[in-house]
Structure 1
Amino acid sequence: MLIAPVSIAVPLATPMGEAHQLIVVTSAGWDTPNGHLQAFERTASGWKAHGAGFDVSLGRSGSAWGMGVHPQQADGPQKREGDGRSPAGIFAIGPAFGYAEHISSAMPYQPMLASSYCMDVPASPLYNQIVDAAKVGEAAVKGSTEAMRLDLHNDGDRRYREGFVIEHNPGAVPGQGSCIFAHLWRQPGEATAGCTAMEPARMSALLAWLSPDAKPLFVLLPDAEYQRLQRSWDLPALPETTR
């Protein structure tokens, strides 16, 4: 006797993967230098908002498609080194960093030193890496504009006092953008060179909440792109207050 095969619906893979924590940033459009951040947790019934959302600042020129865990997108601006745009898409969240020796976070943490630099020189073999000049040599960090102890190099600048790495361009493709972080702002709403910035209390709360076991991801999209991709990328429904 022949038995008819049973059709089993297999869900399509999405960029969300095994993530159980999301940080979602949305903006009004590609050229908008500010946005709204909402955190989410995955529950048995789907994504649930974690805490209240809040305003953040983005790149001075807005945002552009970056290189992350999402499928590459052809329509819209593409992130390039020095363009002043925050990378859009879905990205792994890398280690936390800051000025203190330790912070209250389960995330891997790297204290920054006076000799710590992030290499934003496309021709460098260390491109898109945070390195210690005391280990790699002063010549290796020549030309970098990203001293990670801004307080020591820029008159007490607090922006990198606490933050985390947004893993844009993990393959370090030259010229596609580097050194993308979530960090503090110097003053409310001040645009960045391509990062996402927020007030200190918000950053501390995010770092205390994030867990590497939850495989957290960072999402940044203009509103129209978020609505277009929400279902196919398994993105959470946004609270009405963020729309």
Structure 2
Amino acid sequence: MTPAGPDDLVLTPSGIRFRGRRFPCTIGRGGVRADKREGDGATPAGCHRIVGMFYRADRIARPAAWAAAIGPRDLWCDAPDHPAYNHRVRAPFAGSAERLARGDPLYDLIIVTDWNWPIARAGRGSAIFLHRWRRPGWPTEGCVAFDPQHLRWIAGRIGPRTRLVVRG
């Protein structure tokens, strides 16, 4: 694994280290795994580039100039057998997909990693995002989750060289 750089988000036992600060976070209920699979609830080990940022323009201000707004038709395909697996799609959509514009605030701000993207291998896992947590200590399905104010702070400071470093 490439050594972590100054622009990287580094997962440590006490949270994410970024720009000289440490932020509490939660990870997948399945812990960290090098052999990530769809539905295992694990956060994948590795160096994952940040490749996108989405936000609910009807709920929050744009967190960064390069963030893209999402709306009610935006989905994320989680069907391993579909050609759009682990990609953003639009409703109506015939395959299995997760709604990005949720009723709760969990995905009001989403930072997208390149885990199993852009060329997705079936069953390797999808939708590995950084997003807000349900509450402190509550595990995710494989994502990394933060206090919403910490997530906003991070979102305003990440850039094209930022990676999420998760050691297994």
What's the TM-score once normalised by structure 2's chain length?
0.90
* 8 Å contact kept, 2:41–2:142: yes
User: In the alignment, what sits opposite 1:74?
Assistant: none
* Structure with greater Cα Rg: 1
> Identity of paired residues, percent?
31
- How far did 1:26 drift? 2.2
Q: CA deviation at 1:15?
A: 3.2
Give the Cα–Cα distance (whole angstroms) in 1 for the partners of residues 116 and 64 of structure 2: 25
Residue pairs, 1:41-190, within 5 angstroms:
50-65=19-34, 78-100=35-57, 103-106=62-65, 108-133=66-91, 137-139=92-94, 142-144=95-97, 146-151=98-103, 157-170=104-117, 171-190=119-138
CA distance in 1: counterparts of 2:100 and 2:126, whole angstroms: 13
The equivalent residue for 2:164 is 218
Structure 1 residue 94: deviation in Å? 1.2
The answer as to whether partners of 1:92 and 1:218 remain within 8 angstroms in 2 is yes
* Number of aligned positions between the proteins: 165
Stretches of structure 1 that go unaligned for 5 or more consecutive residues are 1-13, 28-34, 40-49, 66-77, 152-156, 223-243
Deviations 1:32-70 (A, max 9, x none): xxx51001xxxxxxxxxx2420211000111111xxxxx
Task: Provide the C-alpha distance between the structure 2 equivalents of 1:220 and 1:138, rounded to a whole number of angstroms.
Answer: 32
Higher helix share: 1
Read off the aligned partner of 1:143 and give its amino acid letter. S
Question: Bigger relative contact order, structure 1 or 2, given CA contacts below 8 A and separation 6+?
Answer: 2
- Per-residue CA deviations over 1:59-107 (Å, capped at 9, x if unaligned) read 0111111xxxxxxxxxxxx10000010111101101111112651314x
Give the direction of change, closer, same or farther, for the CA distance of 1:120–1:20 in structure 2 (3 Å limit): same
Q: Which amino acid aligns with 2:36?
A: K
Determine the C-alpha separation between the residues in 2 that align with 1:16 and 1:95: 22
Gaps (5+ residues) in structure 2?
none
The aligned counterpart of 2:11 is 25
Distance 2:63 2:141 in 1: 27
CA RMSD of aligned residues (A): 1.9
